[in-house]
Every structure is written in structure tokens, then in C-alpha cells.
Amino acid sequence: MILDGKQIAAQIRGELREQVQALLASGQRAPKLAVVIVGHNPASETYVNNKIKACAEVGIEAEKIAYEEYITEQALLTEVRRLNSDETIDGFIVQLPLPAHISESSVLSAIDYRKDVDGLTPQSMGRVIQGLDAFISATPKGIRELLARYKIQTEGKHVVVIGRSNIVGKPMAMLLMQRPYLSLPNMSASSLGDATVTVCHSKTRDLKSICLTADILIVAAGSPKLLTADMVKEGATVIDVGINRVDDPTTPKGYRLVGDVDFEHVAPKAAYITPVPGGVGPMTIVSLLQNTLQAYNEHTR
């Protein structure tokens, strides 16, 4: 069965739209997100524009704050501190990557975790580990929501996560191994957890035999066709996070997007599988919207 992230994301956007409309109907202001972008990286500009468009679709106000490539780290930190104390902003993100002369970790560390709707600050990640209220980074949050909406249980299951990045692999592993008693945002999905999690990475030996023991595979490596059919147990759930460009002269752009999973051969063995595109990607954007509404609710409480 295909896990249709596009359809679930549309459903969640509908729910968010209703919640925002109810706020406006009761005389309250709309939630507001600010998005800081530095420079003109075309991929970053596309991501930022998509995020702003998605906000508009559900009635969340979004402000784009653009700086030229040559902004200093000090000036960017000053802007972050201003946003931390700007009462009209419920949450904000700083689009990564930043230019090489700016330390991403210094900038992320300066963001107030109560406004960190990307869930990338050390404080947010530490709080998630400790089971305290915090924003969860968008991709793991979206995957958890997708599993929950398809009622895929994780309790006692063996989950293999391929990839150990701060934005996907690590928080994903953390969420699924946790006891689900936590008061994390997004209650429908917070009942998931209690899994036995193995995290694999580029130095893992014999990836295949580890993957073959997985009930749920979450692949976030950025390597096309890394997961092949001979690595997947019959009836497993396969979540493909990868987004890779491969040359394809038959398409107008000359390339197409593929995941990390050999979908064609893995799909017949999998009980559930996400496609690329249309699986994890749409869930990632919708998670940012959910986090922004959550930030608003906490900020205006």
C-alpha cells in the first residue's frame, strides 16, 4: 500500500485552515511565521517560497526577511535576537545552508527554543531527548504523523533508520524509541514510540543483514537506490526520505527526483511504502505549519 503523503498533507492543511479561521472568527489575530534567508541559493529560495505559499494557503501570515550574502554573523545574530523578542512573530526559521563565513551552530543556538519552529536548536533537540515540550524538526515529525494517520503501530517493532543527521536521522530515532507518555506537540502522533531502534550510517557494516531484520525502514541517506529489494523483509514498512536528482533527458528539466529506495522492486515486498515525490516531502512542509500554529497557541495562551 502506498502511503500517500500528498493526500494526508492536504487533509492536514484543511484542518489547519479551519483552526486558523476559527481564531479569526473569534476576533484573534492570525499566527505569524518569519523566514530568514541569506543570499540567493536557488534551492533555498524555492524552499522558502514554498513555505510562504503553504502558510498563505492555511491563513498563517508569513514574512520573508532576506539578506544579501555578505551580511556579517554579528548582524544576523542581532536579527535573530530581534525576532526572539518581536511579540508579533510566533515562530521563525533561518533557512540553511548559511554562507561559509557564518557559523550555523552560533545562529541556531541564538534562536529562542519557544520560537524554534524548525526544531533545530540544541535546546529544542535536548528537550525532545528529555521528553519535554519542544518543536520537533519537520521531517521526523511529518513521518511520525504519516505513520499515525495510517495507524501503523511502532510499539515493540524494530525500526532501522539509515542516516544520522541532526535534521532527520537522529531526531527520528529519538522519537520512535521514546515512551509515548510525553506531552510533545501534535497529540495524534505522540502515541507512537516504544520501538527498538537501530541507527545505521555510512560506516555501518553489513547494512543488508541489519535491514533484513527491520519491521520499519526509514531511509535518509541521500543515495539513489541504496535500499534494494534483497535488503527488505516481506511485509515491512518502508519510508523513503531521500530526494536525489538523477539525469533524465526525456523530461523537460533534464532530470527527475528519486528517493533512496529502489521503489519498483521494493514496493511489491513492502506492506506500506512512501513514493518520491509525494511521500515524506509534503508532510515536511505541513509539519512546519503545525509547529507554527502550536507556537502561536503557546505564545498567546
Query: What are the backbone dihedrals phi and psi of residue 238, each rounded to the nearest 5 degrees, phi first?
Result: -125, 120
Which residues make Cβ contacts (< 8 Å) with residue 242, sequence separation at least 6?
Answer: 219, 220, 221, 222, 223, 224, 226, 258, 259, 260, 261, 276
Which CB sits closer to ligand NAD, 74 or 228? 228
Give the contacts of 64 (CB within 8 A, at least 6 positions apart): 34, 35, 37, 48, 52
What secondary structure letter does DSSP report for 222?
A: S
- Single out the residue of 178, 284, 290, 292 in contact with ligand NAD (rule: CB under 6 A): 284
Catalytic residue among 95, 178, 290, 294: 95
How many Cα atoms sit within 13 Å of 152 on the Cβ side? 26
Strand partners, 261: 227
**d(C-alpha 249, C-alpha 262), whole Å:** 20
Instruction: Please state the closest distance from residue 138 (CB atom) to ligand NAD, in A.
Output: 7
Site for ligand NAD in 194-213 (CB under 6 A): 200-202, 204, 207
Nearest-approach distance from CB 163 to ligand NAD, in angstroms: 4
Q: What is the dihedral of CA 228, 154, 210, 129, to 10 degrees?
A: 110
In terms of CB distance, is 30 or 96 closer to ligand NAD? 96
CB of 143 to ligand NAD, least distance (A): 9
Could you tell me which stretch among 24-32, 67-75, 264-272, 276-284 binds ligand NAD (CB under 6 A)? 276-284
240 included as an active-site residue: no
Closest separation in Å from C-beta 255 to ligand NAD: 14
95 is catalytic: yes
**Which of 4, 118, 240, 260 is labelled catalytic?**
118
- Binding to ligand NAD by residue 221, rule CB under 6 A? yes
Give the relative orientation of helices 138-149 and 5-25 as an angle to the nearest 10 degrees: 100
- Binding flag, residue 220, ligand NAD (CB under 6 A): yes
Say how many residues touch ligand NAD, by CB under 6 A. 25
d(CA 129, CA 296): 23
4 is catalytic: no
Q: Cα(44)–Cα(39) distance, rounded to whole angstroms?
A: 9
CA distance 110 to 8: 34
Restricted to residues 37-56, the positions that interact with ligand NAD (CB under 6 A) are none
- The residue range among 6-14, 40-48, 53-61, 278-286 that interacts with ligand NAD, by the rule CB under 6 A, is 278-286
Q: What's the residue count for the chain? A: 301
CB under 6 A: which stretch of 40-48, 68-76, 86-94, 221-229 binds ligand NAD? 221-229
Tell which positions 132-171 bind ligand NAD, by CB under 6 A.
139, 162-165, 167-169
96 belongs to the binding site for ligand NAD (CB under 6 A): no
Q: Which is nearer to ligand NAD, 12 or 71 (CB)?
A: 12
Minimum gap (Å) between residue 205 Cβ and ligand NAD? 10
Alpha helix stretches (DSSP H) within the chain:
5-25, 42-58, 73-85, 104-110, 122-130, 138-149, 169-177, 187-190, 207-211, 263-266, 280-300
Q: Which helix (H) or strand (E) covers residue 66, if one does? A: strand 61-67
Residues that bind ligand NAD (CB under 6 A): 139, 162-165, 167-169, 200-202, 204, 207, 220-223, 226, 241-244, 280-281, 284
Q: Which residues are catalytic?
A: 51, 95, 118
